[in-house]
Structure 1
Amino acid sequence: MVRRAAIVAIGSELLCGDGLDTNSRWLSQRLEGLGLRVVLHLSCPDEVGAILDALRFAAERAQVLLTTGGLGPTRDDLTREAVARWAGVSLQLHEPSLERIRQLFARFGRDMPASNRVQAELPVGARVIDNEVGTASAFSLDHAGTRLYALPGVPREMRWLWENALAGELESADAAPPARRTFRTVGISESALGERLLSVEERPGVEVRYAAEERLGTIRVTLLHEDQDAVQDAWREARDLLGEHVCAVGGDTLAESLAGLLHARGLRVATAESCTGGRAAAALTALPGISRRFLAGFVTYSNRAKVRDLGVSEELLAARGAVCPEVAAAMARGARARAGADLGLGVTGVAGPGGGSSEKPVGLVHMAAAGPGDDDLRLLERRFPGDRDLVQARATAAALDLLRRAAGGGAATG
């Protein structure tokens, strides 16, 4: 039976927006990697009653319960008290933990403040988990069929404790993680994607997870099943159903998939962007080793820059305006020629919120990919919904995918 896990993140700062809970995401990835199924994330303030309610709620749904935060020395660190109430026990001073904290201060030539004593007061029956990188005393406690692990909220300490204690303890030979296959799609909405993959979702035992990645302009899809062959069969069907919408496989992003294709085929690229402001170039140049394939990136926002830097015709701009397929093509060809690249990308559009018209509304983007042959040209027109940032993100993804297809990439495989 697959063990269920829950995570309770404790800290008022997480609820008021002053802090971001990165611990739960990190822990979830590792728990699932060990074959546990994470069924719940909760956040609660630094209040004993709220923490106690969260513990009870989570423990009813999971055999393994992890808490983060609330193990410090200040008056708002109340996890120890809440866990003791949950288990129906009292707190008691754990002398070895107190001595460990004293020694930690002594190593830095300091006396332990009296307030740190509370960090050694643990629920009766708790098992201490040695923490060599901080003063918080982590511990585990079994109650009513659930094993609780109380971890510090400081990411560095929490991760050290996971790597040096919890990972080995939670690993089980009879709880292997399910087989999985992950890929990314572009140019298709999440609703249309779900409709297209309905037959995959209906395969016995197959779980399909969707995650929209707005900043990347892609959707990540994960297929899971207990059997590796079943996952492979589901992946083949999904790939056939989605075709060229599949832009990356495994952990690769769209940009990484494109870069891999450029490396494999020995192609060099240059970009010319207007409404995306250099995002396509930034996505590529963020990757190590791309200097062998990326030659130049032009951000030509004004018409004057398009003429000066890319050789776009003034007559064309006067007759058609900057947002049209002809200008996108001229930008792509200009970038390719000026940089001496095999492939050139051109992007021009109206990102908003202003600047649109009935003829050229906000969200309209024209893209072009020139090369690798002198006469090779691919054009793409899209109307993207959303605010300025979202239009730019989606246009960047579409442009990178257009470049990927120009480089000879169909549906990503692997």
Structure 2
Amino acid sequence: MNAEIIAIGSELLLGATVDTNSAYLARHLAAAGINLYRKAVVGDNTERIAAMVREALERVDLVICTGGLGPTVDDVTREGVALALGRELEFHEALLEQIAARFAAMNRTMSPSNRQQAYLPAGARAIENPRGTAPAFLVEDARGTVIVLPGVPHEMRYLFEHAVLPYLRNERGISSVILVKTLHAVGLGESVIGEMVADLMQAENPTLGISAKQARYELRIGARAESQAEAEALVAQAEATIRERLGSNLIGDEPLAAQVVRMLAEQQQTLTIYEGTLMAPIYRALSATPNGLAHVRGVLIHPLDRPTDEHAAASLALAGAISAADRWRSDLGLAVQASSTSDERGFTAVSVALCTPTGMRQATRKYDLNQPEGWEFVGTLALDLLHEYLNPNTTASM
């Protein structure tokens, strides 16, 4: 079965509300072995909703809509779906009684406008909503099935788990599994990684995709099978191949910061941070990770007080790592220092240095620090240097 998700609501298009429903549905459809072709967002407009549902049914046999089932004049999902399927809306007295009972249970007076929630496209199957006043519904058509759920997240999740999944399994025979595993890599560019695993990225099952996030790379393996065990075997086979090709640049299924924090704990190492900038990229990266500062003894923030070139920045990073480690008597000192000037392309040289009981390690790279993610790249560079030291098997190129 192939599916599309349509999130309905003008507030989603305006950015006033974040569409978390589609992400939830995407994860659970994958777990149920259903291929998701597309996700889309449309405003509260009958004709546009109808057009989007029609287009989706030309590609897939399952369309799941969320939102637009309320009692106000802009809640037109029912009308849009009915128009897409060429059906009239029919009034259901039993649904109105359920809605009224819901209001009575909440000790509230039902508004006359709630009556519109008792209308469904002709032939639709109502899905009772014990968590809210908006009944959901599904319509089976020659082109496919359209399922419409409320936009309120907790109502949508409840109905998907307690009504939609049982329907898909018991009546549509969905029994396969899609398993996704994410691996993390550092030390190589996205294009280099892509070339090393190009053949895996072209395979149909399992699939492999790569995404880049501030010099950290996620490799997502997806496998479809008739059982969990078969899917796990396919993922394991792909993972083994990736590990063989990427070697120590593949750091595993933990994000870089989380892995560094875990390794500090396991090795009982303490860390002190020297930040030569108010942007404090190392501190920010670790503080965004659970227990990220548990083994950090101190943080010294010392912005530049005079112009500094690339060579001087490297020296300051080394001195900063040593002085920070000595000041707090920590096992390790990790420092970052950027030069005060940029080259003709707008790139700034940044040095990171690590003071260890056995010596010093250092790396220098150039980044566009005018970009919002520029300092996040610096944080990754510093943590990669620390990871290289904590993991003796790592030979990642800095």
1:142 to 140, 143, 148: 140
C-alpha change, 1:166 and 1:204, in structure 2 (3 Å) is: closer
1:362 equivalenced with 2:364 (yes/no): no
Q: Secondary structure at the match of 2:11?
A: helix
Aligned mate of 2:163, from 162, 165, 168: 165
The aligned residue for residue 338 of structure 2 is 349
Unaligned runs of 5+ in 2: 225-229
CA contact (8 A) 2:342 2:348 kept: no
Secondary structure at 2:388 match in 1? helix
Aligned pair count reads 387
Secondary structure at 1:72's aligned position in 2?
coil
Structure 1: how far apart are the matches of 2:88 and 2:346? 66
How far the C-alpha of 1:301 sits from its partner, in A, is 2.1
Q: Report the 3-state secondary structure (helix = DSSP H, G, I; strand = E; otherwise coil) of the residue aligned with 1:8.
A: strand
Q: Is the 8 A contact 1:322 1:348 kept in 2?
A: no
In the superposition, relative to structure 1, how do residues 10 and 319 fare at CA in structure 2: closer, same or farther (>3 Å)? closer
Query: Which whole-Å CA distance do the structure 2 matches of 1:151 and 1:205 have between them?
Result: 31
Structure 2 vs 1, CA of residues 404 and 40 (structure 1 numbering), >3 Å: closer, same or farther? same
Output the TM-score relative to the length of structure 2. Answer: 0.88
**Aligned-pair CA distance for 1:283:** 3.0
Distance (Å, rounded) in 2 between the aligned partners of 1:207 and 1:115? 48
Q: Provide, for residues 5-63 of structure 1, a one-character-per-residue CA deviation record: whole Å limited to 9, x for no partner.
A: 10011122222333332221221011101111110111112111111110011112222
* Residues 323, 365 of structure 1: 8 Å contact kept: no
Alignment of 1:189-338 (within 5 A): 189-201=189-201, 205-214=205-214, 217-226=215-224, 227=230, 228-249=232-253, 252-275=254-277, 277-290=279-292, 292-303=294-305, 324-338=313-327
What is residue 378 of structure 2 aligned with on the other side? 395
Q: CA RMSD in A?
A: 2.7
Give per-residue Cα distances to partners, 1:60-86, cap 9 Å, x unaligned.
Answer: 222221101111111111110111122
Q: Measured at CA, do residues 240 and 383 of structure 1 come closer, stay the same or move farther in structure 2, by a change above 3 Å?
A: farther
Equivalent residue letter for 2:284 = A
Matched to 1:236, the amino acid is A
Q: 2: distance between equivalents of 1:59 and 1:319?
A: 61
| Structure 1: segments with no counterpart, 5+ residues | 304-316
Separation of aligned partners in 2, 1:21 and 1:99: 31
Whether the 8 Å CA contact 1:349–1:366 is kept in 2: the answer is yes
Q: Alpha-carbon deviation of 1:282? A: 3.2
Residue 1 (structure 2) pairs with residue 12 (structure 1): no
CA contact (8 A) 2:183 2:220 kept: yes
1:65 aligns with 2:63: yes
Q: TM-score w.r.t. structure 1 length?
A: 0.85
- Alpha-carbon contact 2:314-2:351 (below 8 Å) kept: yes
Does the Cα contact within 8 Å between 2:272 and 2:296 map onto a contact in 1?
yes
The worse-fitting range, judged by mean Cα deviation, of 111-120 and 331-340 is: 331-340
1:276 offset after TM fit, Å?
7.0
With over 3 angstroms needed to count, the CA separation of the structure-2 counterparts of 1:65 and 1:300, relative to structure 1, is: same
SS in 2 for 1:327: helix
Matched, 1:176 2:176: yes
- How far does residue 385 in structure 1 lie from its aligned partner after superposition? 4.2
**Is 1:376 paired with 2:346?**
no
Q: Is the 8 A contact 2:32 2:174 kept in 1?
A: no
Moved more, 229-238 or 61-70: 229-238
Q: Is the 8 A contact 1:181 1:232 kept in 2?
A: no
After superposing the two structures, state which structure 1 stretch, 153-162 or 227-236, moved more: 227-236
| Distance of 2:222 and 2:40 partners within structure 1 | 24
Q: Distance in 2 between matches of 1:199 and 1:235?
A: 13
Distance, in Å, in 1 between the alignment partners of 2:34 and 2:278 is: 41
Structure 2 SS opposite 1:388: coil
Distance 1:32 1:329 in 2: 48
- Contact 1:271 1:332 (8 Å CA) reproduced: yes
